[in-house]
């Protein structure tokens, strides 16, 4: 790890110097598919972060978990360390024990601290893959995964009630962190070391060492910088880390591991003759990859490869859970292996609901958040990348070669996603059209079914579909499509975008 990552970004003792803003939030604070996110200095302010922390303290008291304590971590975004300090100071003032990360850390490291120390909750200051101007507040349950929908609804209700009673006054101030440390209410700790040891327990490092892979590690300037590269080096790989510098602007790109943001990884693979680039998002809970040829592997194919590996190589069993925008490859593999299969609304918290009540082998979402059995019900981009390396070492093939083998067995599947920035009125008109008068045909294929589970999915048979969905974390409508060839996917998306244009004029 770098020196900057070890020491943190700033002295957190200044947390009480933040202005006690008296204004009420312009809009109510809402938790989307993965926490509360907003633009820094607009809605994501120190005052609003303290408001959420006070609401969390009340919620933990009401549920009897306050005494178990809360882990607080943060990513590499602008002011993330100071927002984390503000959360810690508020929780400490409420008498709740706090385990505060000593440095920026990946989200799964924060989640592992919650699980391994049997804490009542976790807070991660991060906006994950959002653009650099955003920050966010991810709430983790006692089980380490995203707080379940009922819990976030309760938190929103507490916030609304507190704001109504406060009538515009500033939230209560937190506690000076020096005093909180002296009283034992705040403990600063290394959250990365214990998490790394857990990863060592889950991955076949001996097999990796024997393979001597040449790899690129790309943390996209995020919280996994130094961590993934060090693990791959420990596993015997020849590793080159790119975009490992501390850069809160993320080089001008959103730290999301999708094709349009991975030009640097593609160039590095080709320049170095690497077998793959392994990529994490801004907070390290999502996975991305580039094959030896420079082709970006979307998360749909990564999910399918991991499922195949866990069953065929590890011999593991269990339920398979995917979110609504996930690939049909997963459905087909689950049926092939005779595994129970579930589809949920988008958001990993819905996957968690299954993981807490049955034995889930693997669960994931289109965006690259994938969780694995025998770990915790949480997405883990670093673990998934290590397992991709394990696949290459075990099969003796590149990732692209293994995808080709897989598609020869279950049929071709191609996928794309496009993000459209629409006004709230435009989004509402589009969703009303799809609800009330969906098209009978698109790109020449008859619509066999419209599934409204989360957004509107038009289904054209067993291997073609298009989904329109308003994002829960960004002001966009996402359009997803899957079909049997890139040309078919392109045709579906082109017609889908024409539908959007006609609905929003």
Do the domain assignments include residue 96?
yes
- Do 280 and 423 share a structural domain? no
- Do 380 and 251 share a structural domain? yes
Do the domain assignments include residue 196?
no
Do the domain assignments include residue 197?
no
User: Where does 35-95 have alpha helices with state H?
Assistant: 46-63, 80-93
Total number of domains constituting the chain: 3
Domain with 166, as residue range(s), is 3-191
Query: Domain of 144: which CATH number?
Result: 3.40.120.10
Task: Tell me the pTM.
Answer: 0.92
pLDDT in tens, the chain (505 residues): 344 443 344 333 333 334 344 444 446 899 988 899 999 999 999 999 999 999 999 999 999 999 999 999 999 999 999 999 999 999 999 999 999 999 999 999 999 999 999 999 999 999 999 999 999 999 999 999 999 999 999 999 999 998 887 756 667 789 999 999 999 999 999 999 999 999 999 999 999 999 999 999 999 999 999 999 999 999 999 999 999 999 999 999 999 999 999 999 999 999 999 999 999 999 999 999 999 999 999 999 999 999 999 999 999 999 999 999 999 999 999 999 999 999 999 999 999 999 999 999 999 999 999 999 999 999 999 999 999 999 999 999 999 999 999 999 999 999 999 999 998 889 999 999 999 999 999 999 999 999 999 999 999 998 899 999 988 667 789 999 999 999 999 999 999 999 999 998 8
- Do 444 and 396 share a structural domain? no
Cα 107 from Cα 98, distance rounded (Å): 17
Cα 505 from Cα 493, distance rounded (Å): 18
Give the end of a domain, one of 129, 164, 191: 191
Do the domain assignments include residue 451?
yes
DSSP annotation of 15 reads: G
Cα 222 to Cα 29, 46, 384, distances in angstroms: 25, 22, 16
Q: Evaluate whether 124 touches 283 at the Cβ level (below 8 Å).
A: yes
Give the end of a domain, one of 410, 444, 473: 410
Q: How far is CA 249 from the centre of its chain?
A: 19
- Do 364 and 469 share a structural domain? no
- Do 360 and 242 share a structural domain? yes
- Do 422 and 402 share a structural domain? no
Do the domain assignments include residue 497?
yes
- Do 104 and 231 share a structural domain? no
User: Hey, CA dihedral for 467, 470, 473, 475, is it positive or negative?
Assistant: positive
End-to-end CA distance of the chain: give it in Å, rounded: 51
Q: What is the pLDDT of residue 165?
A: 78
- Do 370 and 234 share a structural domain? yes
Cα 127 from Cα 226, distance rounded (Å): 20
Q: Evaluate whether 50 touches 163 at the Cβ level (below 8 Å).
A: no
Q: What is the pLDDT of residue 395?
A: 97
Do the domain assignments include residue 382?
yes
Do the domain assignments include residue 198?
no
∠ Cα 185 190 192 (to 5°) = 135
- Do 366 and 246 share a structural domain? yes
Do the domain assignments include residue 67?
yes
Give the end of a domain, one of 170, 191, 212: 191
- Do 185 and 141 share a structural domain? yes
Query: Domain of 454: which CATH number?
Result: 3.30.310.50
Q: What is the pLDDT of residue 162?
A: 86
- Do 445 and 400 share a structural domain? no
Cα 212 to Cα 184, 274, 391, 394, distances in angstroms: 46, 11, 13, 12
- Do 327 and 464 share a structural domain? no
């Amino acid at each position: 790890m770098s020196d900057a990552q070890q020491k943190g970004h700033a002295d957190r003792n200044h947390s009480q110097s933040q202005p006690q803003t008296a204004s009420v939030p312009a809009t109510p604070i809402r938790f989307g598919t993965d926490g509360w996110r907003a633009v820094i200095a607009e809605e994501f302010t120190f005052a609003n972060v303290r408001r959420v922390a006070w609401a969390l303290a009340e919620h933990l008291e009401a549920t009897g978990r306050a005494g178990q304590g809360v882990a607080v971590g943060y990513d590499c975004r602008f002011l993330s360390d100071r927002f984390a300090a503000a959360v810690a100071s508020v929780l400490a003032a409420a008498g709740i024990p706090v385990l505060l990360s000593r440095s920026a850390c990946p989200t799964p490291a924060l989640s592992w601290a919650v699980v391994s120390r049997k804490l009542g909750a976790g807070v991660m200051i991060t906006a994950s893959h959002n653009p650099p101007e955003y920050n966010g507040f991810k709430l983790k349950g006692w089980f380490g995964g995203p707080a379940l929908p009922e819990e976030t609804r309760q938190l929103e209700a507490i916030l609304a009630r507190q704001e109504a009673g406060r009538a515009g006054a500033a939230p209560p101030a937190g506690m000076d962190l020096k005093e909180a440390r002296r009283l034992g209410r705040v403990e600063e700790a290394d959250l990365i070391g214990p998490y790394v040891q857990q990863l060592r327990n889950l991955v076949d490092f001996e097999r990796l060492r024997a393979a001597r892979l040449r790899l690129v590690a790309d943390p996209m300037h995020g919280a996994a910088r130094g961590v993934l590269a060090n693990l791959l080096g420990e596993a015997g790989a020849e590793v080159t880390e790119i975009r490992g510098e501390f850069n809160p602007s993320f080089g001008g790109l959103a730290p999301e591991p999708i094709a349009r943001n991975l030009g640097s990884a593609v160039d590095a693979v080709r320049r170095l003759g690497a077998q793959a680039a392994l990529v994490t998002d801004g907070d390290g809970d999502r996975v991305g990859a580039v094959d030896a040829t420079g082709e970006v592997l979307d998360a749909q194919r990564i999910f399918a490869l991991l499922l195949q590996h866990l069953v065929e190589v590890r011999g593991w069993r269990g339920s398979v859970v995917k979110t609504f925008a996930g690939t049909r490859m997963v459905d087909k593999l689950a049926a092939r292996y005779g595994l129970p299969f579930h589809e949920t609304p988008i958001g990993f918290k819905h996957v968690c609901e299954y993981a807490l009540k049955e034995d889930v082998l693997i669960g994931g979402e289109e965006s690259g958040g994938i969780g694995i059995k025998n770990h915790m019900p949480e997405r883990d981009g670093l673990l998934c990348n290590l397992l991709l390396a394990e696949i290459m070492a075990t099969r003796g093939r590149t990732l692209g070669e293994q995808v080709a083998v897989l598609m020869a067995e279950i049929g071709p599947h191609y996928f794309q996603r496009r993000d459209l920035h629409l006004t709230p009125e435009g989004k509402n008109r589009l969703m009303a059209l799809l609800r009330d008068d969906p098209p009978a045909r698109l790109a020449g294929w008859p619509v066999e079914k419209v599934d409204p589970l989360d957004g509107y999915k038009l289904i054209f048979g067993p291997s073609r579909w298009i989904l329109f969905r308003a994002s829960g974390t960004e002001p966009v409508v996402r359009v997803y499509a899957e079909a049997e060839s890139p040309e078919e996917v392109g045709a579906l998306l082109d017609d889908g975008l024409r539908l959007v244009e006609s609905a929003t004029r």
